[in-house]
């Protein structure tokens, strides 16, 4: 009986794994699904940015008083982001979590300059 339950549980886990990965899309995990922030100092002001990745594949970006949102997925160490303000065309970014726990995003390929300008850089977890 125990062995049968083991096989049933193993089979269920394999179904979940293969079903979840069949599209090649994964959402950010390992501590990245949370709120991140960064600041940018200019001569006139300090800009505060907030970036939130949700576990349902959506993201939210707040730039001072301007908001943007869209969807994302992960392929390896690549973050693919889409939003309406960039005509629905996805942008590809590299990301990594540093030893200090910061999220670093760098450009891979994107034609949308406003998205590039607002996403690249080092983000810190919001406490």
The sign of the torsion formed by the CA atoms of 38, 63, 113, 95 equals: positive
Range of the domain at 98: 24-125
43 assigned to some structural domain: yes
Do the beta carbons of residue 51 and residue 105 sit within 8 Å? no
Q: How does residue 6 score in pLDDT terms, banded at 50, 70 and 90?
A: very low
31 assigned to some structural domain: yes
Residue-wise pLDDT tens digits, 13-51:
333 333 333 334 455 555 456 788 888 888 888 888 899
pLDDT at 27: 53
Rounded Cα–Cα distance for residues 82 and 39 (Å): 23
pLDDT at 33: 64
- Please list, in sequence order, all residues whose beta carbon lies within 8 angstroms of the beta carbon of residue 113, skipping any fewer than 6 positions away: none
Count of domains forming the chain: 1
Rounded Cα–Cα distance for residues 85 and 57 (Å): 18
14 assigned to some structural domain: no
pTM of structure: 0.70
The token duo for 64 is 């001072």
CATH number at residue 38: 2.40.128.370
17 assigned to some structural domain: no
Rounded Cα–Cα distance for residues 82 and 111 (Å): 12
Residue-wise pLDDT tens digits, 65-123:
788 899 998 888 899 999 888 887 899 999 988 888 889 999 999 999 888 888 999 99
pLDDT at 42: 80
């Amino acid at each position: 009986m125990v062995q049968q339950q083991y096989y049933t549980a193993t089979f269920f886990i394999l179904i979940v794994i293969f079903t979840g990965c069949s599209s090649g899309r994964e959402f950010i995990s390992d501590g990245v699904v949370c709120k991140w922030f960064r600041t940018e100092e200019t001569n006139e002001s300090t800009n505060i940015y907030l970036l939130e990745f949700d576990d349902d594949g959506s993201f939210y970006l707040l730039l001072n008083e301007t908001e943007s949102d869209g969807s994302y997925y992960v392929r390896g160490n690549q973050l693919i982001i889409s939003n309406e303000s960039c005509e629905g065309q996805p942008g590809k970014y590299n990301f990594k979590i540093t030893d200090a726990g910061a999220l670093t995003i760098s450009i891979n390929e994107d034609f949308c300059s406003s998205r590039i300008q607002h996403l690249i850089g080092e983000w810190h977890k919001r406490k």
